[in-house]
Amino acid sequence: MDAGDLRGLGRLTGLALAGGVTRVEEMHTSIAARVFRGVGPASAPVRAVHDALARGTYATVRSSLLQMATAAGRAAAHARVTGEPLTEHPRARAGLAVLNGACGDLLERDVAELATTMGLRHRGRALAVRRESLAAAYPHATGRLAVYVHGLAETERAWLFGAERRHGDRRAGYGTSLRRDLGYTPVWVRYNTGLRISRNGHLLASLVEDLVAAWPVPVTDVVLIGHSMGGLVIRSAVHQAAHPDQGPPAPWLDLARATVTLGTPHLGAPAEKAANVATHALGLVGETRPLAALLALRSVGIKDLRYGNVVEADWHGHDPDALLRDTRTDIPLHDGVRHFAVVGTLLGSHDSRAGGLVGDLLVTPRSAVGDTGRENRLAFPDTHVVRLAGLHHLDLLNHPRVYRHLHTWLAELTEHAV
């Protein structure tokens, strides 16, 4: 943890505590105002004293917390506990991933030291996209690349979910299995999930372009595998690579053989729709309006999950907190790449009432395959979709039943390539 990280952590803590005090003050003020209105004009002198004392007290508490947290961060920075950046510390990864998912857009703006940047990770550490660095990290690199893109508030370690229990090896997952069985070298991406999906898509497209150019052996095949939000980022990257603002399509698209989305909310996530409704409901009453303001602070990345935004046109010029307003544009699957989808249903089959409503707990079956029931549905071929009953959202990250289908699909691609 270096000095910049520690100072940033202290500042972030102070801002968070001060913001929490402000929300409490707003709620206190709303409740008190309703009480004083009920008493009538006679309460005016008492209200004036109350309001002045309350403002002074909250200001003092807010200032003290901010100063103490900032001072603590500076003291820790001066001590320089270790020389390791916080983003590289094993015990900090999960917490930072959640923090970036919840408010990554604010982190990037206000506390850049704690904001995750789109990049490759190898054994938990940042990996430079340079030929010498890639050759050292992958001494047995193959020409087939499998690029793994995690979901909201996750890191690349999410792909090892349940590895010890299911495989008897905490390092076993799709990456090791596809490397062993089909020769796909696993490449792990970590990114700030609180940013706009369209922005992460642009960054991913650029990252893959640089990766292919710097890879130590000639690249013949690229497969992109995404869990949850990661699938939307992949769709966005492929679309933006195929339709850049200027110039021809990105060369790496000619090497892209397939995308695989695992529990991806192509039509949006029910939980984010519920959060949107809750924000508006809480905002209707004065006492709970501060809670609505607090809930509205969730990241734009999370808000993009409401309807599965993948390009800038989906959100640009629109109020991100508008009540259940679907502003998506029609972004079809790219014709030059084969697309596969895995759907999980925890309760019953995908076509049962329970399965259709509950899905994998976070994504419904129709959303996972982009089935709008209209002509502009995502055109996943039936043979490219598998629906697995009894699996929840996180199971899709590392499960033998999912892997059997991954292996089948990618093996067929490999045979056709030969």
Query: Given this model, what pLDDT does residue 418 score?
Result: 47
pLDDT at 163: 95
Q: Which residue has the higher pLDDT, 62 or 209?
A: 209
| CA atoms of 216 and 131, how far apart (whole Å) | 6
pLDDT computed for residue 47 by the predictor? 65
Residues contacting 296, CB < 8 A, separation 6+: 279, 321
Mean pLDDT score across all residues of the chain: 86
Helix, strand or coil, per DSSP, at residue 204: helix
Task: Note the pLDDT of residue 79.
Answer: 46
- For 342-400, write each residue's pLDDT tens digit: 999 998 887 888 888 889 999 999 999 999 877 667 989 999 999 999 999 999 999 99
Q: What percent of the chain has pLDDT over 70?
A: 78
71-75, 133-137, 271-275: least confident range:
71-75
DSSP state for residue 314 in the 8-state scheme: G
pLDDT at 78 over 60: no
For residue 99, name the pLDDT band (cuts at 50, 70, 90). Answer: confident
The ranges assigned to domains in the chain are 3-84, 119-268+328-417
**Nearby residues of 156 by Cβ (< 8 Å), 6 or more positions away:** 121, 124, 148, 150, 188, 189, 190
What is the pLDDT confidence band of residue 58, given thresholds at 50, 70 and 90? Answer: low
pLDDT at 76 over 50: no
248, two tokens = 């021809």
Between CA 227 and CA 344 the distance in angstroms is: 12
- pLDDT, residue 114, reads 80
> What band does 185 get if pLDDT is binned at 50, 70 and 90?
very high
The conformation of residue 254, written as its DSSP 8-state character, comes to G
Provide the pLDDT for residue 342.
98
Q: Per CATH, is 119-268+328-417 categorized as 3.40.50.880?
A: no
The model carries a pTM of 0.84
What pLDDT, in 10s, does the model give residues 14-57?
666 566 657 556 655 665 576 567 767 776 766 676 566 657 65
Q: How confident is the model at residue 72 (pLDDT cuts 50, 70, 90)?
A: very low
The 10s digit of each residue's pLDDT in 259-311 is 999 999 999 999 999 888 888 887 887 767 777 777 788 899 999 999 999 99
